[in-house]
A = this chain, B = another copy of it.
């Protein structure tokens, strides 16, 4: 007879990955494809991962429940979508005035971050791995210029949950509108502003035509991570070889996604400017007021959410140390390079 290990190697394992994103967001959606391709090729087709866009298998925001229940094995999502369930999800994606892309990756891979998140995810029956980052996002599109923090008062801005909670303290009025309806709402003046991602994704949606003032930085997303969710029991039951393929393929997609944004944003920015976008830096009083509000929100969460407090305590210590170091070599190098004629 044939040895068991050989029978096993001939079985095909088929897993389904639900992305929270549409195919049109090709860099983010593409990370799930890069992951699946790597797995399929490394296993010679014996471990087959099929990717579905947001809504194809389960609703975009239903992927957490679906992986938790084991309806699907894998999901690729932005964990801050689940901020309403528990604010601590946001540490696995982005928190206002948080870590930048490299720092968040460092925290995840070598600073204890991924371990802390997985302790939290255990109650959702999920194992998580970092899988992509956008880098610092832009602050979005505004119909009128923002000249001081007073211009935030009453401003109706389409923005995600966590940033919205901070912005409310400045008098802003956060709006929740599906991606496909933003343009029309901006055009009609139903909203005054919207945030999206950065030049590469923003160019496609054409916001510059109806809200030409393009602000930076997106202080609520200094480095927004996308995350791979894996059903915990199904992961534990996988052969070790395939578990390790998942880890390596997730790292591979983590690199390729950030690389695509970084390589493609510059051309898109040029195109946006050629199309009439007016690029501005947020006034310092807006940044200062938002940073103060961020600290107030965090203090409130420390009082009300023990999951948040446990992770926050480690996160903020890491953050403090990161900027104390990063400001030297990395920041001074980047500042110099940005200051000279290249």
Do A325 and B265 form a contact, CB below 8 Å, given A333-B219, A334-B100?
yes
Q: Is the CB of B326 within 8 A of A334?
A: yes
| Residues of B close to A103: CB separation below 8 A | 262
1/0 per residue A242-284: CB within 8 Å of B?
A: 0011011101101110111111111101100000000101000
Q: Is the CB of A323 within 8 A of B337?
A: yes
Q: Is the CB of A327 within 8 A of B338?
A: yes
1/0 per residue A134-168: CB within 8 Å of B?
A: 01111100000000000000000000000000000
Do A255 and B105 form a contact, CB below 8 Å, given A266-B324, A322-B266?
yes
Nearest-CB residue, chain B, relative to A262: B106
| Residues of B close to A259: CB separation below 8 A | 105-106, 108-111
Q: Bound state CA distance, A222 and B335, in angstroms?
A: 11
Q: Is the CB of B263 within 8 A of A332?
A: no
Q: Is the interface of A mostly helix, strand, loop or mixed?
A: helix
Q: Bound state CA distance, A328 and B219, in angstroms?
A: 12
Q: Is the CB of B338 within 8 A of A331?
A: yes
CB distance from A209 to the nearest CB of B (A): 20
Q: Bound state CA distance, A256 and B255, in angstroms?
A: 11
- Asked if A44 is at the interface (CB within 8 A of a chain B CB), the reply is yes
Q: Is the CB of B251 within 8 A of A332?
A: no
Q: Is the CB of B248 within 8 A of A321?
A: no
| Residues of B close to A237: CB separation below 8 A | none
- Asked if A300 is at the interface (CB within 8 A of a chain B CB), the reply is no
Q: Is the CB of A216 within 8 A of B329?
A: yes
Q: Bound state CA distance, A328 and B279, in angstroms?
A: 9
Q: Bound state CA distance, A241 and B319, in angstroms?
A: 39
Q: Bound state CA distance, A251 and B139, in angstroms?
A: 30
Do A136 and B333 form a contact, CB below 8 Å, given A279-B328, A342-B319?
yes
Q: Is the CB of A217 within 8 A of B333?
A: yes
Interface size on A, residues (CB 8 A): 86
CB distance from A109 to the nearest CB of B (A): 4
- Asked if A207 is at the interface (CB within 8 A of a chain B CB), the reply is no
Nearest-CB residue, chain B, relative to A110: B263
Q: Which residue of the partner chain, among B44, B97, B138, B337, contacts A328 with CB atoms under 8 Å?
A: B138
Q: Bound state CA distance, A139 and B328, in angstroms?
A: 10
Nearest-CB residue, chain B, relative to A292: B340
- Among A43, A216, A251, A269, the most chain B Cβ lie within 10 Å of the Cβ of A251
| Residues of B close to A25: CB separation below 8 A | none
Q: Is the CB of A135 within 8 A of B241?
A: no
A contact residues vs B (CB 8 Å cutoff): 2, 6, 9-10, 38, 41-44, 97, 100-103, 105-111, 135-139, 198-199, 216-219, 222, 239-241, 244-245, 247-249, 251-252, 254-256, 258-267, 269-270, 279, 281, 287, 291, 316, 318-338, 340, 342
Provide a sorted-by-A list of 24 A–B residue pairs whose CB atoms are within 8 angstroms. Answer: A6-B9, A6-B10, A9-B9, A44-B239, A97-B340, A110-B259, A110-B263, A135-B329, A136-B329, A137-B329, A139-B329, A216-B329, A216-B333, A217-B329, A217-B330, A217-B332, A245-B245, A251-B255, A252-B252, A254-B255, A263-B318, A265-B325, A319-B342, A331-B335
